[in-house]
Amino acid sequence: MPDSAGLTVGIAGASGYVGGELIRILAGHEQVGRIMAFSDNWQGQSVAAAHPKLVAIGASLEFIPFAPSQLAGCDVVFFATPAGIAARHAADLLARERIVIDCGADFRLRDAKQWQQVYGIEHPCPQLLASAAYGIPELFPAAVAKANLIGAAGCYATCIQLAAAPVVKMLAEQGSSEIRIVAAGLSGTSGAGRRTDRHDLLLAEAGNNACAYAINGHRHAPEIIQGIDNYADRVVQLAFVPHLLPLPRGLLATVHIIADGKFVPPETAATALAQAYADEPCISVLPAGSAPQLASVLHTDRAVLAASATGEVAAIVGALDNLGKGAAGQAVQCLNLRLGFNPISGLAA
Amino acid sequence: MPDSAGLTVGIAGASGYVGGELIRILAGHEQVGRIMAFSDNWQGQSVAAAHPKLVAIGASLEFIPFAPSQLAGCDVVFFATPAGIAARHAADLLARERIVIDCGADFRLRDAKQWQQVYGIEHPCPQLLASAAYGIPELFPAAVAKANLIGAAGCYATCIQLAAAPVVKMLAEQGSSEIRIVAAGLSGTSGAGRRTDRHDLLLAEAGNNACAYAINGHRHAPEIIQGIDNYADRVVQLAFVPHLLPLPRGLLATVHIIADGKFVPPETAATALAQAYADEPCISVLPAGSAPQLASVLHTDRAVLAASATGEVAAIVGALDNLGKGAAGQAVQCLNLRLGFNPISGLAA
Amino acid sequence: MPDSAGLTVGIAGASGYVGGELIRILAGHEQVGRIMAFSDNWQGQSVAAAHPKLVAIGASLEFIPFAPSQLAGCDVVFFATPAGIAARHAADLLARERIVIDCGADFRLRDAKQWQQVYGIEHPCPQLLASAAYGIPELFPAAVAKANLIGAAGCYATCIQLAAAPVVKMLAEQGSSEIRIVAAGLSGTSGAGRRTDRHDLLLAEAGNNACAYAINGHRHAPEIIQGIDNYADRVVQLAFVPHLLPLPRGLLATVHIIADGKFVPPETAATALAQAYADEPCISVLPAGSAPQLASVLHTDRAVLAASATGEVAAIVGALDNLGKGAAGQAVQCLNLRLGFNPISGLAA
Amino acid sequence: MPDSAGLTVGIAGASGYVGGELIRILAGHEQVGRIMAFSDNWQGQSVAAAHPKLVAIGASLEFIPFAPSQLAGCDVVFFATPAGIAARHAADLLARERIVIDCGADFRLRDAKQWQQVYGIEHPCPQLLASAAYGIPELFPAAVAKANLIGAAGCYATCIQLAAAPVVKMLAEQGSSEIRIVAAGLSGTSGAGRRTDRHDLLLAEAGNNACAYAINGHRHAPEIIQGIDNYADRVVQLAFVPHLLPLPRGLLATVHIIADGKFVPPETAATALAQAYADEPCISVLPAGSAPQLASVLHTDRAVLAASATGEVAAIVGALDNLGKGAAGQAVQCLNLRLGFNPISGLAA
């Protein structure tokens, strides 16, 4: 599709945290010729004004106002926008044979009614949900490779599914009936987005602090259950509690699995992980018993996983950067897979 | 026991983090007349040299070298020392009718063989294990109130038992047979002690980082299983993974309970917590659905607990300061209970 | 003035960071009988809803809507409000013989025209400026002891004046003509207040970051120059650059003084500090060559100061908690001085 | 010198923080064929064991024991070692026509006696000091381009000289006689190296803390004075106080200059910076009045500088990553200049 000068790529929501990472990654992507960074609030300003880390490329790229006509001029459009925005523009772009990759939540769930329950508004284009690929390339490569509409998975959803899905699949194949998952998530505050309506995300309050949140249920839970069902053909019961860390970015998930009332043992988990990701360039499975840390994944597009080595109970731990493999990096990984590029073009894997 | 001038209190390991908190608390305790701060390495120096926060009282209190004869002159001796130290001195002190409160691990487990497996050395005085009270005043008040030897519970062990024990007790009374607990712990790095043999505890490595650790099993697990068994008369299976936060102090635990293969529902957990701690001055049970945060407990001797309010699965979350309610504060709370003082004398509850 | 039940104290702006500290301090103040916590946004909610650390006293104190008639029922009113609010209510309260202590900026400067230049609005009651005491008790005790209107000094202004004023006074007395001060300030983000209109104060941006700011001039500069002139009878030239730290609270200032073109030597600075603060309960002057750290002052109402010990150039370093000695603590210290209470009642000094 | 397979590069001290950055940079450097990572303590282990961020390249590179014979097999040797190590091996390597780039302190000062005063040991090869280039490529390009022995500048020294040297040069050319510099430095804790002999660098103590240090004089001061003298032909008097931030990495310096008793005005500073660095790929001079922040430089090899825009006093602020432009990045920048490579090969500039 792109000519020799490279792809023209649009980023809706380019002033947000995920948008900034998309700019950074795509600016170094060998197949990208032009970036259009959309933001009404920052229009006319250098991208470095919104994203201090882009100081070196800031001089040559300015935000432009969001306009559907401009979107249509892009080969690929990434949406890094609140719920409902991508869904209002996807049908038109798909009709023009553009590729749409949504880093937001609009195309993750398959069921429009469930989507409305979770996000509180009616889905703008329910007819597209069935055709969207769920964007975790390691788990759903065939779908991602051919879809023009990709709903990149949420950050927690990515980490928990990468940790749990291969194990659940192995258990299901071994005949386990009831499977329950307990997942503890830990994430930096950028996961909440660049929003200034919540004082609890201010450094003065979230710094030197930590808390559990969403203890009545997190909105990534339906997406995780759906994804594991699609991958492993088993509907699990999920207990997931996220925790807010005093960190800008980074995400950990620790997962325990109970199959037919018993904890899954370490060997099962370690074997399932090793087999599932042996050849994946964006995933490192550490030796069993190792403990993944954020230092290995911050500012990368890589996930690191490990299961416990001894004892009667398998803990499975995953780490990724919520803005990298958990968002912008994974979205570009989907792009690479969809267009047959080098799988890690532009990425730090 | 103490004369009108107040107790003479000794602190072994006074230069460590728990030791520093003990000095701070006891210096403001109305029943304490004299503090003896033992530390060989810092002897002759002001306590403020080791503990910057003690700058105001530093001028009037110096470290003195550790000596058994000096210990014997104290009415009460707190040990904030590595495994094995308290156990080498307890018998002599008890023979002199002193009160011994160990903030370390020497008197938490009842079984000497298990202790040796966990701590890697032979227990110096196994004959004393049966007589030691396990120091969580809310769960074992009768034992603490009369014991001359108290093994204050570990920080993770305190938080997880406070969260889980009343629920397990209710489930056991309701006839549940197999009970499993999944606990995720999050803690600041002071929990590892003031040690300089581990570069991973340096700010340059632990800062802007987080990780799971001890994923093959944490040494607080046996103590938790024993404590819940003593409180609720039920031996549980425990899956516990701690995580290191980029924080000096503070501890969270999120607990899920599976009874006979099913997740415990929110109402059960919320009811059990509310009933268990209604009159406890050092524990705040928040309304169901609230999420405890470290900001409510840092630099206090208080634990804050809450269970989820809705959904099918109860999450129970606890927060405390690992050096406060998780160590020094709880040890002084034990002292207050043992000697019939105001329960919160000296404490920030 | 107060009856035996203690003072009735009002706090305007009680939901802000300084307001929260005022509640905490005054709730433990032996001379305070009743606290009225004013906040329109949080009215009807527990003070713990806004201030997680007040969980223990939250049940018994709720925010009430701000109303001038209610203010008038207070013996003392603290304002912790944006520029202009205190000044709109002060005249009425003073006419009723109430005591007004402003933690904001309304009564720090003496010149209404300068105030307008700095704060961008016309001063609501310029006639009161001359009668207000500038609230640094160590430097202006006589004025604070008798004023019904006290403008507590800003956080940076407090630290820099405590460090520099005694040295400038000594230099002036020794005959120095031109005196220049270079001050570097470092502060946590709570110094900017509990505001949600600036994304750069979010943990996602201010965490794992640091920067200089206001490099064209900071609004505390005029207040510092005025204060040093009043104390030392010398108009200095001041170069002051603040820096934002990735911390919720705490403030450091490092000061160099150039007198008639030469750096002031260490002995002069050390001597001036030691003499000025020998008997001050809220100030610790460390031995020359020591380096004050935030760990000694966080969550206290104390300042710690030290000058270098050797070399040709004196560095003077001060540390305080911007919400403690830099705001709420100093305001209560002013109250204690004004009403003849124990100088450190309610304070952590 | 290197054959078509690329340079063989040795890194002494490869397990330290600077060593880890050198591995990372050189592993992505197009002119480097082979890396030899020397570390006795970590020999036989993957480089990822010491450096979590190197997880992706860890599998293919192991530490090897330090041995002079192995050093001699390298085309270029970087030393990231304590004082005295590089100096013990440099003469032999230079005799073999190898290139030696010391990230440590051995070849920064020209005077062996001064070096001994600062570092406390006798210099092992004083005869080499005169031939070493001082490694700040922007200030001393001609020397770096031809030297086989390069002493890369210290992190604080780099930032302060980049900020001050062009201004001092302009002032000197304009005829200023006495020039004084006041510099405040702020740095993350990795600047102290990967050492476990100091408990104050533990996260439990340095986290949620900040302090001034070395207030009697910092050992980078002589190097800064010497460098400015070499660049601007003027011996300045320097007052420099560094501050420790609760951050793993990153460095800020804020500089004021007093020429013949007067503060330098903003225009002078802004003009000098803009002229000096107009074409430098590793330096961004921001518009006057901007405030450099760490977010623009962390994990890069770039420095960002700005001067104030208005007022009577110029503040000059610089930011860099102490492990990037302040150490490993600058060392590789020196290599690129010395061997005529692309100036930013391997670098994030």
The 10s digit of each residue's pLDDT in C42-70 is 999 999 999 999 998 877 899 999 999 99
- Choice among B155, B159, B282, B334 that is catalytic: B155
Chain A neighbours, 3+ Cβ pairs < 8 A: B, C, D
> Distance (Å, rounded) from C-alpha B161 to C-alpha C115?
57
Q: What is the DSSP code string of D247-271?
A: SSS-EEEEEEEEETTEEPPHHHHHH
**CB-based contact C204 A198, cutoff 8 Å:** no
> Distance (Å, rounded) from C-alpha A338 to C-alpha A76?
11
CB pairs under 8 A, 24+ apart, for A281-287?
A281/A343, A281/A344, A281/A349, A282/A137, A282/A138, A282/A325, A282/A329, A282/A333, A282/A343, A282/A344, A282/A347, A282/A349, A283/A138, A283/A162, A284/D55, A284/D56, A286/D55
- When pLDDT is averaged across residues B71-80 and rounded to a whole number, the result is 97
Q: Which residue from D209, D237, D266 is facing C294, i.e. has the nearest CB?
A: D209
Confidence bin at C91 (pLDDT 50/70/90): very high
Residue D199 amino acid letter: H
Q: Are D299 and D279 in contact (CB under 8 A)?
A: no
**Per-residue pLDDT at B166:** 98
Q: Are D184 and C254 in contact (CB under 8 A)?
A: yes
Contact of B208 with chain A, judged by CB distance below 8 Å, is answered with yes
| CB contacts, 8 Å: A298 with chain D | 53
Q: Which residue of D has its CA nearest to B203?
A: D203
CA pseudo-torsion sign A225, A231, A235, A237: negative
Q: Which residue of B has its CA nearest to A252?
A: B211
Q: What is the mean pLDDT of chain B?
A: 96
Confidence bin at A173 (pLDDT 50/70/90): very high
Chain C neighbours, 3+ Cβ pairs < 8 A: A, B, D
| CB contacts, 8 Å: D300 with chain A | 53, 56
**CB-based contact A55 D284, cutoff 8 Å:** yes
* B1 has pLDDT over 50: no
For the whole model, what pTM was predicted? Answer: 0.97
- When pLDDT is averaged across residues A142-158 and rounded to a whole number, the result is 98
Closest CA to D21 of D85, D108, D103: D103
Q: Are C103 and C26 in contact (CB under 8 A)?
A: no
Q: Are D291 and C243 in contact (CB under 8 A)?
A: no
User: What dihedral do alpha carbons C27, C32, C33, C34 form, nearest 10°?
Assistant: -60
| CB contacts, 8 Å: B313 with chain A | 237, 239
Contact of C117 with chain D, judged by CB distance below 8 Å, is answered with no
Q: Are A321 and A300 in contact (CB under 8 A)?
A: yes
Q: Are D265 and D313 in contact (CB under 8 A)?
A: yes
**CB-based contact D203 B246, cutoff 8 Å:** yes
> Distance (Å, rounded) from C-alpha B237 to C-alpha B230?
14
User: What dihedral do alpha carbons D25, D31, D33, D37 form, nearest 10°?
Assistant: -30
Give the residue numbers of A annotated as catalytic, written as ranges: 155
**CB-based contact C207 A247, cutoff 8 Å:** yes
Please count the other Cβ atoms lying within 10 Å of the Cβ belonging to residue C319: 34
**CB-based contact B184 A308, cutoff 8 Å:** no
- For residue A322, the Cα-to-chain-centroid distance in whole angstroms is 7
pLDDT digits (tens, 9 = 90+) for B233-251: 999 999 999 999 999 999 9
In chain A, % helix, strand, coil (3-state, to 5) comes to 35, 20, 40
Q: Are D26 and D11 in contact (CB under 8 A)?
A: yes
C50 vs chain A: nearest CA distance in angstroms?
10
ipTM over 0.85: yes
**CB-based contact A296 D52, cutoff 8 Å:** yes
CB pairs under 8 A, 24+ apart, for C24-29?
C24/C51, C24/C53, C24/C54, C24/C57, C24/C328, C25/C301, C25/C328, C25/C329, C25/C332, C25/C346, C25/C347, C26/C332, C26/C346, C27/C54, C27/C57, C27/C61, C28/C346, C29/C332, C29/C345, C29/C346
pLDDT digits (tens, 9 = 90+) for C219-231: 999 999 999 999 9
Q: Which residue from B190, B198, B207 is facing D246, i.e. has the nearest CB?
A: B207
Confidence bin at B83 (pLDDT 50/70/90): very high
- When pLDDT is averaged across residues B157-171 and rounded to a whole number, the result is 98
Q: What is the mean pLDDT of chain A?
A: 96
> Distance (Å, rounded) from C-alpha D235 to C-alpha B74?
62
**Runs of H (alpha helix) within D2-140:** 17-27, 47-50, 55-58, 68-71, 85-95, 112-119
- When pLDDT is averaged across residues C98-116 and rounded to a whole number, the result is 97
Residues 240-299 of C with CB under 8 A from D: 241, 243, 245-247, 250, 252, 254, 256, 258, 260-261, 263, 266, 289-295, 298
Tokens 């069935």, residue?
A130
Question: What is the widest separation between alpha-carbon atoms in chain D?
Answer: 59
Tokens standing for residue A309 = 């080595």
> Distance (Å, rounded) from C-alpha C222 to C-alpha C322?
19
Query: How far apart are the two ends of chain D, measured CA to CA in Å?
Result: 26
| CB contacts, 8 Å: B197 with chain D | 196
Residue A34, beta-bridge partner list:
A8
**Per-residue pLDDT at A4:** 57
* A217 has pLDDT over 50: yes
pLDDT digits (tens, 9 = 90+) for C120-166: 999 999 999 999 999 999 999 999 999 999 999 999 999 999 999 99
- Choice among C155, C159, C282, C334 that is catalytic: C155
Closest CA to B13 of B70, B72, B112, B81: B81
Please count the other Cβ atoms lying within 10 Å of the Cβ belonging to residue B343: 14
Residue to mutate among B178, B215, B237, with most A CBs inside 10 A, is: B215
**Per-residue pLDDT at B2:** 45
**CB-based contact D308 C246, cutoff 8 Å:** no
**Per-residue pLDDT at B207:** 98
Residue to mutate among B54, B55, B208, B286, with most C CBs inside 10 A, is: B55
| CB contacts, 8 Å: B198 with chain D | 196
**Per-residue pLDDT at C2:** 45
**CB-based contact D209 C256, cutoff 8 Å:** no
Size of interface B-C (CB pairs under 8 A): 36
**Per-residue pLDDT at B196:** 82
**CB-based contact D310 C247, cutoff 8 Å:** no
Q: Which residue of A has its CA nearest to B244?
A: A293
Residues of chain D with pLDDT under 70: 1-4
- When pLDDT is averaged across residues A245-265 and rounded to a whole number, the result is 98
Q: Are B153 and B172 in contact (CB under 8 A)?
A: no
Q: Which residue from C182, C205, C292 is facing D256, i.e. has the nearest CB?
A: C182
Residue B1 class from Cβ within 10 Å (0-12 exposed, 13-18 middle, 19+ buried)?
Answer: exposed
pLDDT digits (tens, 9 = 90+) for C175-217: 999 999 999 999 999 999 998 889 999 999 999 999 999 999 8
**CB-based contact D206 B203, cutoff 8 Å:** yes
- When pLDDT is averaged across residues B108-121 and rounded to a whole number, the result is 96
Q: Which residue from C55, C286, C296 is facing B53, i.e. has the nearest CB?
A: C296
| CB contacts, 8 Å: C17 with chain A | 204
| CB contacts, 8 Å: C188 with chain A | 203-204, 207
Residue to mutate among C156, C215, C273, with most D CBs inside 10 A, is: C215
Residues 156-175 of A with CB under 8 A from D: none
Q: Which residue from A53, A284, A298 is facing D295, i.e. has the nearest CB?
A: A53
Residue D324 amino acid letter: G
**Per-residue pLDDT at C1:** 44
Contact of B317 with chain A, judged by CB distance below 8 Å, is answered with yes
Q: Which residue from B189, B208, B209 is facing D202, i.e. has the nearest CB?
A: B189
- For residue D28, the Cα-to-chain-centroid distance in whole angstroms is 20
**CB-based contact D249 B202, cutoff 8 Å:** no
D349 vs chain A: nearest CA distance in angstroms?
7
Q: Which residue from C55, C299, C304 is facing B55, i.e. has the nearest CB?
A: C304
Q: Which residue from A208, A256, A310 is facing B216, i.e. has the nearest CB?
A: A310
| CB contacts, 8 Å: D302 with chain A | 55-56
Contact of B185 with chain A, judged by CB distance below 8 Å, is answered with no
Which phi and psi angles does D254 have, rounded to 5°?
Answer: -115, 125
**Per-residue pLDDT at B4:** 57
